[in-house]
Structure 1
Amino acid sequence: MTDQQPQKESKGDLGLLRLTTFAIGTTLASGVFSISGDMAANGANTAAVLVGWFICGIGMLALMLCFYGLNKHRPDLRSGVYSYAREGFGDYIGFNSAWGYWISAMLANVSFATLLFASMGYFFPIFGTGNNLISVICASALIWFTVFLVLRGVSQAATINAVVVIGKILPIMVLIVAIVLSRAFDPKIFMDNFFGEPDGLGFLDQIKATTYTTVWAFVGIEGAVVISARAKKSKDAGSASVISFLCLLAIYIMISVLSMGVLTRGELAELGNPPMAGVLYHVVGTWGATLVNFAVIVSLAGATFSYTILAAESAYAPAAQGCFPKFFASENKKNAPFGSLILSNLIIQVFLIIVLFNESTYQVFYTLSASMIMFPYLLSGMFYLKQILQRHGTISQLSPGELAIQRIIAFTGTIYGAWLLYASGMIYVLITALLYAPGTLVYIWSKKEKGEKAFSTLLDFAILIVILIMFVISAILIANQTIQPF
């Protein structure tokens, strides 16, 4: 009798529940505990925060419905943002969408790890603000431990993630209930300086100041679409994205509104990390701050685990279609994405070393992560708009009323994607070129492996020139210390 070989994990075994919890797990992290303080620190007052969430709610819902529509009408495209951009605008733009999303996922994981050990510093002062030597060593150990777990199979990892998500949501609901039951919400505080201080930011600038925070709060929401190739039913990925988005939007708005009725903008802006701990300390005392820091640790540990999967899958899926070099598509006996997983975490390790020597904070990395993901979001919205206008495939079977609704969704998602780039400011758009430009070498490598020409269209050359010009401008600005990416 021969030794039985380890059974391979079958692809396509993730149902709606595990896809939904995966999307929530990749999204619900540091943002939920810092949104109120970060918005206040950026100068946004009550009215601007409410308008910011309204814009985000409409825009992100439209984007999620774009993902849902694409998932429904183009089930043949099973690699999310990469497939959509490549199908709609060509190989090089498709590659850049995949590359930007992959880099965004890795930067997000660095941000989570940094804030995780900053929160650990509440209980163990040796960790400080999360960017000292002991924090980086422990963060590195955690990252590689998650690699070990994911190598045992993505399906098994997704099941673990579902359990972790429950542990993340329960403390957050306790926090919301504590504010409500303690009657700490004061309408007068909520209404004071509703539109801002006389010498503060203008109202439009206040709204723009909420952009990074609202985007960061939802980075990862499309995670179910990214791993749609592992879903039992392709349509479940789109449904999971919409369900998780609506649940999280409700939580974020409740926390923002309640916080703004407990402390003024100035007081919220002065809170340390995580700001929600300061809010709960004001409401119920020390135990509230302790509970928040514990919840942050659980949440960020779970997000680190989720993003280890997401970063690997966001490189593996494009590689399986020939967009990234073959190494990225290598698997182990459990069908776990071995090549992309190891390489992703080696790059994360480099970023963690940058944290140590540059004393960078989690805000730096989440801002860069949000910046990198804006282009994939815009391209996805544009592709759905293109599909709707061309009435591609099953879209042609929609009734006039249904088609009109889908046009509104596609236009709104595209406009919101453009708004994100505008609101983020030209400086951060330029900085992204520092991370997009090196990807061109990987693109050339993958094309060479297939014996294909790298830049076969005029559009490809035009995009390459724009990226290189932005790279040079960013490098000059950094050399003159006008901007600092880290």
Structure 2
Amino acid sequence: MAAGADKGKLSLNALTAMVIGSMIGAGIFNLPGRFATATGPFGAIIAWAIAGTGMYMLARVFQSLATRRPDIDSGVFAYAKAGFGDYMGFLSAFGYWLGSCLGNVFYWVLIGSTLGRFFPELFGDGSSPIAIVVSLVGIWAFHFMILRGVEQAAFINTVVTIAKIVPIVVAVLIFIFFFNYNQFSENFFGGLDMPEKSLVAQVRDTMLITVFVFLGIEGASVYSRFAKKREDVGTATVLGFVAVTGLMVAVTLLPFATAPRAAIAGVANPSLAGALELVVGHWGAVFISIGVLVSVLGAYLAWSLICAEVMFAAAKSQDMPKMFAAQNDNGVPANALWLTNIVVSIFVISTYWSADAFNFMLDMTSVTALLPYLLVAGYGVIVARRGIGYTASEANERPMDQIIAWIAVIYTLFMFVAAGLKYVVLVAVLFVPGTIILYFWARREQQARFFTPVELVVFGITVLAGIIGTVGLVTGTITP
């Protein structure tokens, strides 16, 4: 490892800020409108109870694994490899990296659409030529800043995290001040002038939204090799989860007490700006829009770090080609960062020809995170069942840890069902060329066999799903 990589270890506060910075991005600013379109407060409470429980269990799994397997760094994909073999580790790493790239594209589209609120002729919906040029300039400005050193980037992330929470907290306080119990009661079971829909359908329609806003819960785990104390990784994960969940529930429920559900559902994105505008007027929308720009830029910084770190760690463990394990003099995985930002730039340019890049990339980002999360939860079950990393005095903790991990597994499988077959096969379309190019390349470098018999079956299923997705795209039966 380069000399510069050993300096600037991250404290508990910095790791917690990394989790919060990763989770608070675009999603929280879109919650009021997305939830109001799907359900009222009653359905929202049920949805958050399901999502919060499932993601809390996943956070607990990350916390437990950080303690039981302190030898594993960049845990998101490394846990998958430890539990399920080389190819599943690769799919987890590649899927997580690719989903992070798509998420970064989503951030730039949202920046463009937010600027389009003030300069519609120039930025439009975020995919105009001007918006794309501004996005490309931003991508490469961040790129060269990160190349100067991860410690500097982590410091900036901490400052930006504090700055972007301020408008959200102010909005929550304003909603509390204008809380109208009668309005909340009217909206509680659905509200007026909204289509009839079963409670199950209402809750189901919020599921992918909750996955997207919880992305980043693993931020401290991904950056565990920079932690001053290993136990801080798990603590930061839970602290970040609790803080962000509280904010998200407040941002979702409180607007229902200030305006009719139909009015909230009708505001433009970012819907928190529109919801606040309904309460205090136009200045509220401007205030939140500024917060969106700060928040998304901060989240983009955090996810750029995570993207490069995942590719770097996968190359270090020989799951990706070894060229991506190279670091510059500042300890930054430079080749991994270059590949990440080239891919992000290509996707940003492609949004010019996309009919709805915003929602498509939001949903694809959510689904690509589910496989890594499922494999982490599954490995949590294995570790608890086998007693890996438990001392004799900790043996009584194993049953509860196993129950927690199983709940995380069931929740993640449920999210796959809620996402639908369309997104599963579209993810497979991307996994097939990723396997053929990057996985085969890495295996040839090591002169290792490509697949075990079980892995060959997994690859065959992936290829079949990829073919179905490709045929669906070509014939138009699947539309992005």
Q: TM-score range by the shorter chain?
A: over 0.9
TM-score (norm 2): 0.95
Aligned to 1:388: 384
Aligned to 1:405: 400
Aligned to 1:300: 296
For 1:354 and 1:262, the matched residues in 2 are separated by 39
For 1:187 and 1:482, the matched residues in 2 are separated by 46
Question: Does residue 74 of structure 2 align to residue 86 of structure 1?
Answer: no
Aligned to 1:106: 101
After TM superposition, give the deviation of residue 338 of structure 1 in Å. 0.2
Structure 2 matches for 1:125-136, cutoff 5 A? 125=120, 126-136=122-132
Aligned to 1:262: 258
SS class of match (2:103) = helix
Match of 1:33 among 29, 48, 53: 29
Aligned to 2:213: 217
TM-score (norm 1): 0.94
Mean CA deviation greater in 323-332 or 260-269 = 260-269
CA contact (8 A) 1:30 1:115 kept: yes
CA contact (8 A) 1:116 1:300 kept: yes
After TM superposition, give the deviation of residue 262 of structure 1 in Å. 2.3
Structure 2 matches for 1:240-255, cutoff 5 A? 240-255=236-251
Aligned to 1:290: 286
Mean CA deviation greater in 344-353 or 470-479 = 470-479
Aligned to 1:44: 39
Match of 2:443 among 431, 442, 447: 447
The 3 A distance-change label for structure 1 pair 280 and 196 is: closer
Give the gaps of 5 or more residues in structure 2.
none
After TM superposition, give the deviation of residue 196 of structure 1 in Å. 7.5
For 1:327 and 1:11, the matched residues in 2 are separated by 23
After TM superposition, give the deviation of residue 214 of structure 1 in Å. 0.6
SS class of match (1:238) = helix
SS class of match (2:25) = coil
Question: Does residue 347 of structure 2 align to residue 363 of structure 1?
Answer: no
Aligned to 1:24: 20
Match of 1:470 among 460, 465, 476: 465
For 1:338 and 1:187, the matched residues in 2 are separated by 56
CA contact (8 A) 1:433 1:471 kept: yes
CA contact (8 A) 1:143 1:308 kept: no
Aligned to 2:479: 484
Mean CA deviation greater in 266-275 or 98-107 = 266-275
Aligned residue type for 1:276: L
Aligned to 1:3: none
For 1:238 and 1:256, the matched residues in 2 are separated by 27
Aligned residue type for 1:436: F
For 1:52 and 1:81, the matched residues in 2 are separated by 25
Mean CA deviation greater in 338-347 or 268-277 = 268-277
CA contact (8 A) 1:86 1:95 kept: yes
The 3 A distance-change label for structure 1 pair 395 and 137 is: farther
Mean CA deviation greater in 108-117 or 404-413 = 404-413
SS class of match (2:4) = coil
Give RMSD over aligned pairs.
1.7
Aligned to 2:167: 171
Match of 1:58 among 46, 53, 60: 53
Give the gaps of 5 or more residues in structure 1.
1-5
The 3 A distance-change label for structure 1 pair 145 and 199 is: closer
For 1:65 and 1:114, the matched residues in 2 are separated by 33
For 1:395 and 1:139, the matched residues in 2 are separated by 51
Aligned to 1:192: 187
CA contact (8 A) 1:46 1:191 kept: no
Match of 2:4 among 8, 15, 18: 8
Aligned residue type for 1:173: V
For 1:383 and 1:362, the matched residues in 2 are separated by 33
CA contact (8 A) 2:29 2:292 kept: yes
Mean CA deviation greater in 9-18 or 151-160 = 9-18
After TM superposition, give the deviation of residue 399 of structure 1 in Å. 4.3
For 1:483 and 1:396, the matched residues in 2 are separated by 53
Aligned to 2:114: 119
Deviations along 1:203-260, one digit per CA (max 9) or x if unpaired, are 2222111111111111112111011112122221121111100000000001111012
Give the percent of matched residue pairs that are identical in Structure 1 and Structure 2. Answer: 33
Aligned to 2:273: 277
Aligned to 2:202: 206
Aligned residue type for 2:183: K
SS class of match (1:110) = helix
CA contact (8 A) 2:76 2:376 kept: yes
The 3 A distance-change label for structure 1 pair 167 and 39 is: same
For 1:260 and 1:373, the matched residues in 2 are separated by 30
For 1:451 and 1:7, the matched residues in 2 are separated by 30
For 1:356 and 1:208, the matched residues in 2 are separated by 31
The 3 A distance-change label for structure 1 pair 390 and 378 is: same
Match of 1:138 among 134, 138, 146: 134
For 2:391 and 2:454, the matched residues in 1 are separated by 27
Deviations along 1:290-347, one digit per CA (max 9) or x if unpaired, are 1011111111111111111111111111111111001211111001010110000000
For 2:234 and 2:206, the matched residues in 1 are separated by 27
After TM superposition, give the deviation of residue 106 of structure 1 in Å. 0.6
Aligned residue type for 2:424: V
CA contact (8 A) 2:384 2:399 kept: no
After TM superposition, give the deviation of residue 391 of structure 1 in Å. 1.3
Aligned length: 476
The 3 A distance-change label for structure 1 pair 190 and 129 is: farther
Mean CA deviation greater in 375-384 or 7-16 = 7-16
Question: Does residue 338 of structure 2 align to residue 342 of structure 1?
Answer: yes
Mean CA deviation greater in 243-252 or 185-194 = 185-194
After TM superposition, give the deviation of residue 117 of structure 1 in Å. 1.7
CA contact (8 A) 2:183 2:258 kept: no
For 1:191 and 1:72, the matched residues in 2 are separated by 47
Deviations along 1:240-291, one digit per CA (max 9) or x if unpaired, are 1111000000000011110122233332222111111111111000111110
Match of 2:422 among 416, 423, 427: 427
Aligned to 1:330: 326
